[in-house]
Chains A and B, each alone.
Chain A
Amino acid sequence: DAGVTQSPTHLIKTRGQQVTLRCSPKSGHDTVSWYQQALGQGPQFIFQYYEEEERQRGNFPDRFSGHQYPNYSSELNVNALLLGDSALYLCASSWGHLQETQYFGPGTRLLVL
């Protein structure tokens, strides 16, 4: 049983570019949450997707957008990249209302130059 998988593992972009990060949830999970973790800090909630819709959103600008597919996999898109977007982006999956049992993927390390 595969856990949460994310791709790519590492990514380097330049300011102004756009990036797409991908997440496949743990088998049996239907909800995907995305977090941004800056170096030396705890993860910050970006948004959550359930039934292909954004259910809740954290304090992130509209440059951050997402999508969930019918197979529950999800994408995180960031437009007009800024240096401050450099971080580890974590995906977490869970089933329905059981948000306390979120399983995290290994993350995608994004570096913006």
Chain B
Amino acid sequence: GQQLNQSPQSMFIQEGEDVSMNCTSSSIFNTWLWYKQDPGEGPVLLIALYKAGELTSNGRLTAQFGITRKDSFLNISASIPSDVGIYFCAGLETSGSRLTFGEGTQLTVNP
């Protein structure tokens, strides 16, 4: 089946720094999504991208849908302690029914 390669696996940064993580796929997706998961909770949708080349922001978060439709990145600017958590990319298949997730990026923010 399809797989998403997400990197880096983990990041340790200082409060106020910017963060960048990315996701690549061997297959094309029609939609790219970025989620955040806190301990003991389900993933929460941060940003959805629907068109190749699309750049979308949500507060301090910015994500882009790659031109090839096989990759996406997420940037977090001016990180704060509550940004701590696991970030997942996910691709939605053409049929629109199934989400394929990356393996996650564990973000730690030191105050």
In the complex, how many angstroms separate the beta carbon of B69 from the nearest chain A beta carbon? 15
Q: For window 40-83 of chain B, which residues contact chain A by CB distance below 8 Å?
A: 40-45, 48, 50
A106 to B41 CA separation, bound complex (whole angstroms): 4
A99 and B104 form a contact (CB under 8 A): no
> How many residues in B have their beta carbons less than 8 Å from beta carbons of A?
26
Question: Is B44 a contact partner of A58 (Cβ separation < 8 A)?
Answer: no
Q: How far, in whole Å, are A71 and B99 apart by their CA atoms in the complex?
A: 24
Chain A 54-107 residues near chain B, CB threshold 8 A:
55-56, 58-59, 90, 92, 97, 99-107
- Is B96 positioned at the interface, with any CB of A under 8 Å from its CB? yes
| A4 touches which of B42, B96, B102 (Cβ 8 Å) | B42
How many A residues are at the interface, by size bracket? 20 to 34
Cross-chain contact B102 with A100 (CB below 8 angstroms): no
Which A residue sits closest to B1, measured CB to CB? Answer: A59
**B95 CB → nearest A CB, Å:** 7
Q: How far is the CA of A99 from the CA of B94 in the complex (A)?
A: 11
